[in-house]
Amino acid sequence: MKQSTKILLGIATIWPLIYMFLFMAFVFGMIFLSGNPDSVMGPAFGGGIFLVFVVHFLTIILGLGMTVYYIIHAIKNESLESNMKAMWAVLFFFAGMIAQPIYWYLNIWKGPDEPGPPGLLGSANTSTWDFQTQRVRQAEYQPPNEPPDWR
């Protein structure tokens, strides 16, 4: 994936979180302005509501699309173990706005070529690190000569 595509995907991934705060600021601003008897809302109020409605609708569609994209990407990601694929799919479904930026950073931005910290939420090099560690541990293990006497 090209760098520019990764950046655009990252912006689309983080937009629902940013929009959530912008939407709350807009709603609280409208509540504050509507409570002031001297304020005249006028036609700007209706236009603002319509604009927020359109942006809200597009953000919901984007969020649903990103959830589908990330579930498919995680399932097809060859560098993830099968249990991590299932974990990511569940996280995308239940905590999408939080899990998607984390997955984007660990598995898309860093990519499978670049090493990350071992064992961190299914990062791209987790499976190879675990297998290498397991081989070293198996090579070091020496079984005891005799079983211990427990009597």
Q: What is the pLDDT of residues 84-138, one digit of tens each?
A: 999 999 999 999 899 999 999 999 998 765 555 555 555 444 445 555 555 656 6
pLDDT of residue 72: 95
> How large is the average pLDDT for residues 54-81?
94
Among 33-42, 50-59, 68-77, 81-90, which is the least confidently predicted range?
Answer: 33-42
**Local confidence band at 29 (pLDDT 50, 70, 90 cut-offs):** confident
Helix (H, G, I), strand (E, B) or coil at 110: coil
Q: Whose structure tokens read 């290498």?
A: 132
Contact in structure between 12 and 100 (CB atoms under 8 Å): no
Long-range contacts of 117-120 (CB under 8 A, 24+ apart): none
Q: Two tokens at 120?
A: 């961190």
Q: Whose structure tokens read 């670049």?
A: 114
